[in-house]
Structure 1
Amino acid sequence: MNAVQIRSAEKALSVGTWLIVGGAMLFSILTVTPLMERHSPKGWEWTAPILPLVVDAAVVIVVRLDSVLAALGGHGGRWPIALRWMTGAMTLALNVADSALKKDLVGAAVHAVAPLLLIVTAETGLAYRRAITAAQAAREAQLKAERAEREQAANERREAQERRQREEREHAALLAREQREHEALIAREQTAREEAARREERERAEARERAEREARERREQMREQQQAERERLEREAAQRRELEAREREARERREQMREQQRAERERQALLSAGPAVEKQDETRARATVRAAFDAGLPVRTAAELCGWSVGWVSTRYQEHRDTPTAVPALEGATA
């Protein structure tokens, strides 16, 4: 039986015990209270339930503490036994008293069922709990012994393994020592060969360094000569670029002046043409309005020069004011 089954059995025992205790207490209170009411002084009938409650409370204490002591494997001595039997006897006497006084043997037997069941259940439950506790203790002792045996076997296996590992380490150390000695001999021979090779390599490296140094000096001289030549060519190229830039700026200024003169001539030609005899085409009219706008002429004068309405010319003037950087379209205006 495992721990889960043991806990399940203890739970079933505890639930059954308390169900019997609760039923017996309820039955005892309902049976004893009328008897106590008839035997209480007048005016004190309300105290009738106190006695059955006190006796039943003692029963609860006995059952509860006995279960705790049994679970712990303890024993309370003679007094708990005396209290258990005394409360059982009191409960039995109180339950059968009314029927016994009436000489009702059947009633006395019927009312004796619950107290007797309570007494036997308390004793049986105590015995069950002690048996379960003893079984648990025996099982724990068995498990502890098995665990000790397993630990001892594990310790023995571990010690044997440690001995094997120690022997293997000693053997490995011996082999390693022999290997190191062999490797040291080989290393000494290798070191001698490497030393000779290093000396030869060092001599060859020195010869290469001398040759490389001479080659670097020659390359450095060539680089200096090439650098001087590049600097001379760059100075000449810079002078040429500067001269070309000045010439380009002079050409651009001359071209700009020619363009301004041409635009001025075209503008003067448009303004000096006088009032238009007929309405100009839109391209020429726009050029005329632009020339008049640049010359600062009034809108009406510009309208007379191009032959278009004052409103149309006012709209063009407003466009020129909104876009002051616009270039006048004079190409073909004099055609």
Structure 2
Amino acid sequence: MNSVQTRSAEKALSGGTWLIVCGAMLYSILTVTPLMAKHTADEWDWTAPILPLVVDAAVVIVVKLDDVLARLGGDGGRWPVALRWMTGLMTLALNTADSALKKDPVGVAVHSVAPLLLIVTAETSLAYRRAIAAAQMALAAEQKAEHEKAAQAAQERAERAERKAREEREQARQEAREEREHAEKLAREQREHEAALAREKTEREERRLRQEREDRERAEAAEREARERREREREQREQERLRLEREAAERAEAEQLRRAEAAAREQRERAERVERERAALLERGPVEDKLPEGEARQVVAAAFAAGLTVRQAAERCGWSTGWVNGLYSEHRKAAAPAGAELALAGQ
């Protein structure tokens, strides 16, 4: 049996033992508590579960300490045995007392199952644990002996390997000495050959460097000439671009000046035409009949622009002064924002 199987058996034993102990404790509390309540004063009925709890706590202590001592391979002496049997007999007596007082043999037999099972389980689990501990100690001793034997065999193999290694080292030193002498001879010949090769290589390298230097100088001269040519071409392109931009700017300026002159000329012509129309309207003089409204409005606008009075404008269009005065008011309102905009523009 290996260590894994041993640990599995210990877990099964420990789990089963504690399951029986917990079941017996619960059964004992449920059985003994009514008995203690009958033999306790009414005002102290609440203390009935204390005694079975104390006895069961002693059982738990015995089982746990026996488990620890068995694992360590120790022996607690007579007192643990006395406590184990005393707690077991107390549990048996408390569980069967009520049935015994009632002279009920069946009840005594039924209520003695759990305590007896607890006593036998405690003794059996202790024996099992001691047996398992002894087996583990024997297994550990066997493994230790095997380890010692293996270590001794390994030491012997190491000694044989060391002797063989010493012999091999001695032989290797002898061979290395011979090889070193041969290698020194070859090295001298190799050095002489390498020196000759190095001289040839140096000469070739010098020729190559000289050729590379000449090629580099020619390449630098060609690159310098190409750079100068690119610089001249760039300057020419830049001058051409500046000339084209200057000509385009001059053309744009001339076109703008031409448009401005044309606009000014058109504005002067429009102003002269308006002035002639206004003068023609005002030269008519007073009329006898009312002019059509559109023509009358033109006459009033011309009179307002010429600075004539309302009466003079009314005489020239044939309409009433009130109507003309209304048109004058409209022209004044229209002229006020224009004047403000002109003033702001002048600022």
Instruction: Name the TM-score class by shorter chain.
Output: 0.5 to 0.7
Question: Equivalent residue for 2:146?
Answer: 146
Please state if 1:83 is matched with 2:83.
yes
Q: What TM-score does the superposition give when structure 1 sets the normalisation length? A: 0.58
Partner of 1:48: 48
Answer 1 or 2: which has greater helix percent. Answer: 2
Once residues 292 and 87 of structure 1 are traced to their aligned partners in structure 2, the CA distance between those partners, rounded to angstroms, is 131
Query: Which residue does the alignment assign to 1:67?
Result: 67
Q: Against the structure 1 CA distance between its residues 302 and 148, is the aligned structure 2 distance closer, same or farther, given a 3 Å change threshold?
A: farther
- Unaligned runs of at least 5 residues, structure 1: 217-229, 235-240, 246-251, 264-287, 305-335
Q: What is the Cα-based RMSD across aligned positions, in Å?
A: 3.9
Structure 2: where are the runs of 5+ without partners? 211-220, 226-231, 237-242, 271-347
Match of 1:160 in 2: 160
1: distance between equivalents of 2:256 and 2:46?
Answer: 126
1:25 counterpart residue number: 25
Q: Distance in 2 between matches of 1:109 and 1:142?
A: 48
**Structure-to-structure mapping, 1:162-311, within 5 angstroms:** 162-185=162-185, 190=189, 292-293=258-259, 298-300=264-266
Q: How many pairs are equivalent?
A: 229
Q: 1:177 to 1:51 in 2, by over 3 A?
A: same
Distance 2:183 2:166 in 1: 25
The DSSP-based 3-state class of the residue aligned with 1:168 is helix
Residue 95 to residue 191, structure 1, CA distance change in 2 (3 Å): closer
Deviation at 1:147, TM superposition (A): 2.0
User: Compared with structure 1, are the counterparts of its residues 302 and 102 closer, same or farther at alpha carbon in structure 2 (3 Å cutoff)?
Assistant: same
1: CA distance between counterparts of 2:178 and 2:81?
Answer: 83
TM-score normalised by L of structure 2: 0.56
Answer whether contact 1:292 1:302 (CA < 8 A) is retained: no
- 1:102 Cα deviation after fit: 2.2
Cα-to-partner distance string for 1:142-199 (whole Å, 9 max, x where unaligned): 12222222222222222222222221111011011122234445656x499779x97x
Deviation at 1:121, TM superposition (A): 0.2
Measure, in 1, the Cα distance between the counterparts of 2:103 and 2:163.
89
The percentage of counterpart residues that share the same residue type is 64
Cα distance in structure 1, aligned partners of 2:19 and 2:79: 25
CA distance in 2, matches of 1:123, 1:167: 65
Q: Deviations over 1:89-128 (max 9, x none)?
A: 1111111112222222222122111111100000000111
| Matched residue SS, 1:43 | helix
